[in-house]
Amino acid sequence: MGFLLAKILFLLVLAAACGALFTYWWFRRHYEDVTLEYARSRDEWASWRRGFEARLAALPEVDLQPLREQLAALDEAVRAIDVPIPERVDLAPLQSRLDDIERRVSDIRLPLEQRLTAMEHALFPVETRLDELASAVRAVHVPPSQTVDLSPVLERLGTLQSLVENPPPAKAAVREGSRNLLTHPGHGKPDDLTQIKGVPKVLARKLHRVGVFYFWQIAEWSPADVKYVDSKLAAYKGRIERDAWVNQANELVATPSAAPRPTEH
């Protein structure tokens, strides 16, 4: 055990000696003497300072006498300004008027208070009479009223209100010179005419202006009706027969979303 400790101690001493030798070698290799550099920098700074002071001394002296004269003239001008001192204002008349107004107000207050007191005394019997009437009204026994079922009346009023707010659309009339072209969509919501092949939105709006709103109208067209409507569609002539609108409308009438044909009364 002692041999092992001695061996470890020897290795530590050897490592310390090697580290010291390496440190000495590194400092010897990388050491630079900055003393000369510092002395050179100090001499350069002293030389630059002496040159700067010499240049400052060579500059001509600035004559401040004109500036001093201008300041003196400005000071004299400011002192020469005559600011009038306002005279003392006599507030005694104003104070006397205020005292007179205050006195008059105090004289008015007393009669007013007396009139209010007199009014209170005059109203006292009225208040007493009102209290008696209130006690008499409380003493009156009113039998409980019977419960009235107003639900039928309320339902009727609700129906009338809904009719007033949402009146039924007026029945559409057939346009003059046609068989089933309508003046307005008076038989329910208009069908979506763009479901017909060859009918874009622009043409659907044109058909509304002509009086076509429902599939059942197109499905009932005769050749004469087709010719009449085709004459109203200047930019779309021949499209009714070319795209077979009547056949398509017969199929679309049976769809659940299509408006039913109104019954004749």
Which tens digits make up the pLDDT trace of 10-28?
999 999 999 999 998 887 7
Q: Is 86 helix (H, G, I), strand (E, B) or coil?
A: coil
Cβ atoms of 190 and 214 closer than 8 Å: yes
For residues 164-192, average pLDDT: 76
- Overall average pLDDT of the 19-45 stretch: 82
pTM of the model: 0.38
pLDDT band of 225, cuts 50, 70, 90: very high
180-189, Cβ contacts within 8 angstroms, sequence gap of 24 or more? 180/217, 180/220, 180/221, 180/225, 181/210, 181/211, 181/212, 181/217, 181/229, 182/211, 182/212, 182/213, 182/217, 183/211, 185/213, 185/214, 187/213, 187/214, 187/259, 187/261, 187/262, 188/259, 188/260, 189/259
Q: Is residue 244 pLDDT above 70, yes or no? A: yes
**Terminal-residue alpha carbon distance, the chain:** 130
Judge contact between 174 and 180, C-beta under 8 A. Answer: yes
For 57-111, what is each residue's pLDDT tens digit? 888 877 888 889 999 999 888 888 876 665 676 778 878 888 888 877 666 654 5
The answer to whether 233 and 218 are in contact (CB under 8 A) is no
In which band, very low, low, confident or very high, does the pLDDT at 138 lie, cut at 50, 70 and 90? Answer: confident
pLDDT at 17: 93
pLDDT at 149 over 80: no
Name the band, by pLDDT with cuts 50, 70 and 90, for residue 8.
very high
6 in helix, strand or coil?
Answer: helix
Domain locations along the chain: 159-259
